[in-house]
Amino acid sequence: MGFWKSIFRVFGTTEPTKKNRLRPVPNQNGQIFFSTDRDIDVYELEELCDAVGWSRRPIRKVRKAIQHSFIVISMWEKRGTYSRLIGFARATSDHAFNATLWDVVVHPEYQGKGLGKALMKETIKSLRQADISNISLFADAHVVEFYRQLGFSPDPEGIKGMFWYPP
């Protein structure tokens, strides 16, 4: 149900709705769309995460995380009547000062085409529109350069990203 409902919300109208801020992006394959609808099919999302080698997570927790994220951005390719989830990003936030990005992913078949950049620009734009000025993330070593090109600074003024592990 979730899948079809989600697809309907994204592609069921010929005119982009303001709510979902749909905007087609030129692409050599098909048409690329962005959606901020959080009623996303979590199985399809986990399949996408699987494709980039992330470990599987309990569906119930993924659903809860999406529900409690400040923004959720999904990227879709539409070919005829079929549409496919090809990218995703979400952010937690205090709705006032900061937002932190999580689960930024682009399907391997769609990498290297500028779509990750487009997804991030869409995400930053959404956060700026929500008056968030402090956008942060934790980048794996091999994507630090990708984020740097988008305007992200590693360790600005000596600030260190740190993670807690049980002692």
Q: Looking at the annotation, which residues are catalytic?
A: 147
Asked if 144 interacts with a copy of itself (CB under 8 A), we say yes
CB 28 within 8 A of CB 65: no
Q: Which stretch, 15-23, 27-35, 45-53, 94-102, contacts a copy of itself (CB under 8 A)?
A: 94-102
Asked if 156 interacts with a copy of itself (CB under 8 A), we say yes
Asked if 50 interacts with a copy of itself (CB under 8 A), we say no
Asked if 13 interacts with a copy of itself (CB under 8 A), we say no
Could you tell me which residues are beta bridge partners of residue 75?
34, 87
Asked if 147 interacts with a copy of itself (CB under 8 A), we say yes
Helix (H) or strand (E) holding 104, with range, is: strand 98-106
Q: Which stretch, 26-34, 37-45, 55-63, 108-116, contacts a copy of itself (CB under 8 A)?
A: 55-63
Separation of alpha carbons 21 and 10, rounded Å:
10
Residue 114 is classified by DSSP as: S
State the number of CA atoms in the 13 A half-sphere of 68 facing the CB: 7
CB 34 within 8 A of CB 122: yes
Asked if 55 interacts with a copy of itself (CB under 8 A), we say no
Q: How far is the CB of 131 from a copy of itself (least distance, A)?
A: 9
Residue 5 burial (10 A CB sphere; 0-12, 13-18, 19+):
middle
Separation of alpha carbons 69 and 62, rounded Å:
10
Q: Which is nearer to a copy of itself, 52 or 144 (CB)?
A: 144
- Sole binder of a copy of itself in the list 19, 24, 97, 129 (CB under 8 A): 97
- Sole binder of a copy of itself in the list 7, 35, 124, 126 (CB under 8 A): 124
Q: Which is nearer to a copy of itself, 32 or 72 (CB)?
A: 72
What residue ranges bind a copy of itself (CB under 8 A)?
A: 57, 61-62, 64-69, 90, 92-98, 100, 102, 124, 134-141, 144, 147-148, 150-167
